[in-house]
Structure 1
C-alpha cells in the first residue's frame, strides 16, 4: 500500500463527525446513556436493540442511576469514532476495524463485548460487469473507507495479488445500489445486512468474506472510559440485559426477525438471510470474536494502517463472562 493510500485510510478512520451534530449535544450526565450505532436503521438492532425495545436494558440500568437511553445513528464507523473520542457518546456499537483503529490511536475505551460475530461482506458487480476478481485490475471499487468491509476488500485484493492495482474509493452503503445500477464502479463491497438485498436485485457476487474466514467482520461494543469511571457496575448490568435479550430472541426468533427488519428498514427475508442467530454470541468475549479481532489487528499492522501494537486481552473488561 502506498503512503497516499495509508494517509487516506487514516483520514477515513478518524474522519470528522457529522457536521453540526456535536454542536447540538449537551454535557453527559449520570442519568443519560448516549448510545451510538451504525445506520441506516431507525434504531439499533441485534441483541442490544431488542433489549432496548423490550425495556430490558432500561430496567438493568435504572439501579445504576441511568434513567434514559438516547440513541444516535451514524453512516459509518469513522464518524462514530470521532463522536466517541470527542466525548459525545458513552457507548459505540460498530465494526471491528474502526474500533481497532481508535484503540491503536490511543483512545482508552474498553471492549464491552460483541453485538455480532462472523459478519459476512459481499463484493458485488453491475449486472453486466466483470466476471472475475482479476478483471478488477485498473478499475474502481467502492466501499465505506475505514469499515470492516474496507478491510475485507484490501485483504481480498492482497490475496489476489491486486494490491495497488485497483482504485478503492469511499462509498457509503446507501450509495452502493445506485452506483452499481449506473455502472459507476466495477464492484461495490456491501455489509452483511445489505448484501442479500442487492443479490436479490440481481447484482452478481464476485466474492464474499465467508470464502476467506479471516476477513469476516465483527460488531463490537466499546464503552467510553468516563462512563466506566462514573458507573462502575455498568458492564455487569449490560451483560445481564444482553443475556435476557438473547434468551427471548432464541425463544421467539420470528418476533426478533420482525423487529430487526422494522428497525433496520430491510425486508424480512433479506434480514433472515443476512443475520443467522449463530452470529449473536452468548458470551461477552466469544473465542471466535477474539480471534477475528486479533486477525484484523494483525492485518492492519502488516499493512501499516495502524502503527501501535496492543493486547486484545487487555482491551477486555475483567470479570465479564
Structure 2
C-alpha cells in the first residue's frame, strides 16, 4: 500500500517521524487508532480477537477502535471521510477512492483472497463466453469488478456484453440462491461458502494468473504523515501475525469461524488456497494498479486519470 511520494510529501513524512521521536511533542502519537475490517479480512479479524495491535500500542497510551464493513468500497468511503485510519481491501477500491479524490495512501501489500466466477450447480453456463447476455453480479468498486472485467476479456467480452448487477456479498448470496442472477464474482470466504453450501460451480478463478491480483492495507494520508512510527508498528505486528497464521491454517480457521459465525469448513477451504505474507508495495504492484486504473478509465468506469505512484507510503527508515 506504499506509494512513491513527491519530495514535499517525503519531507512531511520525515518531519512527522522526527516529531514522533520527541517525547515532549503533543503530536507524537494519536490517542486512538481506528481500524476498519471485513469478515473476509481474516488477519484483521484475528488481530482484533487476539488484541495484538492493542498490546503493541498500549504502552504508548494509544487505544484501538474497530469498525466492521461488509466490503471494501464503503470502508474506503469512511476512510476518505476521516472516520477510520487504516483498513485492508482488494485492488479495485483504492482506484475508485483515488479517482474520487480521497486522500489515502497504500501502506503494504498482501496476496488477495481467491476469487471465482460462480454459477449455480445446474446452470447451462459452462464457459466464460456463455456469460454473454447474462446477469453477472459483483460488488461495484470491489475487487470482484476487476476479476469480472478480466474474466470477460478472456472470452472477448466486455461489460457491454453482459448485464452487470451490483450487489454486496450478502445481497448477492440471496440473489444467487434465489435464481435472480446467472453468475456471481466473489472472493473468499463467500466463494468457499457458495461451494460448500450451495453447490456453486466454478467457471473461472484466480488460480489463473491472468485473473490474479493483490490486496492492500491503506491508511488516511494525514494519519500516515503524522504518525509514521505508529503506522509502521501496526504493519510490523500484522506482518508477524500473518506469518504465524500461515503456519497454522487449521487453527486460524477455527478462530475465524468463532469470530465471524462463518463455518469452519468454509474457512479451511479458503485458507488452503490463500497466501500469507505482508510486504511493501513494489513497482510491480504499482504497475498492476496503474494498468487497472487505465483500463477502468478507458471504459469510463472512473471519471479521470490517476497516478497510482503518487499515493504510496514508505515506512520510516532505521526500523
* TM-score for both structures, normalised by structure 2: 0.79
Distance change >3 Å, CA 53–CA 38, structure 1 → 2: closer
Distance change >3 Å, CA 152–CA 289, structure 1 → 2: same
Cα displacement (A) at 1:208: 1.4
Q: Which residue of 1 aligns with 2:216?
A: 220
Give me the whole-angstrom Cα distance separating, in 2, the residues matched to 1:219 and 1:101: 14
Q: Work out whether residues 243 and 277 of structure 2, in 8 Å CA contact, stay in contact via their aligned partners in 1.
A: no
Distance change >3 Å, CA 302–CA 119, structure 1 → 2: farther
Distance change >3 Å, CA 103–CA 64, structure 1 → 2: farther
Cα displacement (A) at 1:242: 1.9
Corresponding pairs, count: 286
Give me the whole-angstrom Cα distance separating, in 1, the residues matched to 2:199 and 2:277: 32
In the alignment, structure 1 segments of 5+ residues that lack a partner are: 1-28
In the alignment, structure 2 segments of 5+ residues that lack a partner are: 1-28
Cα displacement (A) at 1:305: 2.8
Q: Which residue of 2 aligns with 1:308?
A: 305
The C-alpha deviation readout for 1:133-162, integer Å capped at 9, x for no partner, is 222222211111111101111221122122
Q: Which residue of 1 aligns with 2:292?
A: 296
The C-alpha deviation readout for 1:91-129, integer Å capped at 9, x for no partner, is 122222011221233323221213x41432111112222
Cα displacement (A) at 1:168: 0.5
Q: Which residue of 2 aligns with 1:142?
A: 137
SS at match of 2:195: helix
Q: Which residue of 2 aligns with 1:49?
A: 45
Distance change >3 Å, CA 264–CA 292, structure 1 → 2: farther
Give me the whole-angstrom Cα distance separating, in 1, the residues matched to 2:243 and 2:188: 23
Q: Work out whether residues 88 and 217 of structure 2, in 8 Å CA contact, stay in contact via their aligned partners in 1.
A: yes
Cα displacement (A) at 1:247: 4.5
Q: Which residue of 2 aligns with 1:79?
A: 74
Aligned-pair RMSD on alpha carbons? 2.7
| Correspondent of 2:245 among 244, 249, 253 | 249
| Correspondent of 1:260 among 256, 276, 285 | 256
Q: Work out whether residues 215 and 296 of structure 1, in 8 Å CA contact, stay in contact via their aligned partners in 2.
A: no
Cα displacement (A) at 1:63: 4.1
Q: Which residue of 2 aligns with 1:33?
A: 33
Q: Work out whether residues 290 and 307 of structure 2, in 8 Å CA contact, stay in contact via their aligned partners in 1.
A: no
Give me the whole-angstrom Cα distance separating, in 1, the residues matched to 2:145 and 2:261: 23
Alignment of 1:60 onto 2:56: yes
Q: Which residue of 1 aligns with 2:193?
A: 197
Give me the whole-angstrom Cα distance separating, in 2, the residues matched to 1:193 and 1:251: 19
The C-alpha deviation readout for 1:204-231, integer Å capped at 9, x for no partner, is 22221222x2432433111112222442
Q: Which residue of 2 aligns with 1:12?
A: none
Give me the whole-angstrom Cα distance separating, in 2, the residues matched to 1:82 and 1:304: 20
Q: Which residue of 2 aligns with 1:125?
A: 119
Q: Work out whether residues 112 and 223 of structure 1, in 8 Å CA contact, stay in contact via their aligned partners in 2.
A: yes
* TM-score for both structures, normalised by structure 1: 0.78
Q: Which residue of 2 aligns with 1:208?
A: 205
Q: Work out whether residues 114 and 274 of structure 2, in 8 Å CA contact, stay in contact via their aligned partners in 1.
A: no
Distance change >3 Å, CA 316–CA 231, structure 1 → 2: closer
After superposing the two structures, state which structure 1 stretch, 104-113 or 80-89, moved more.
104-113
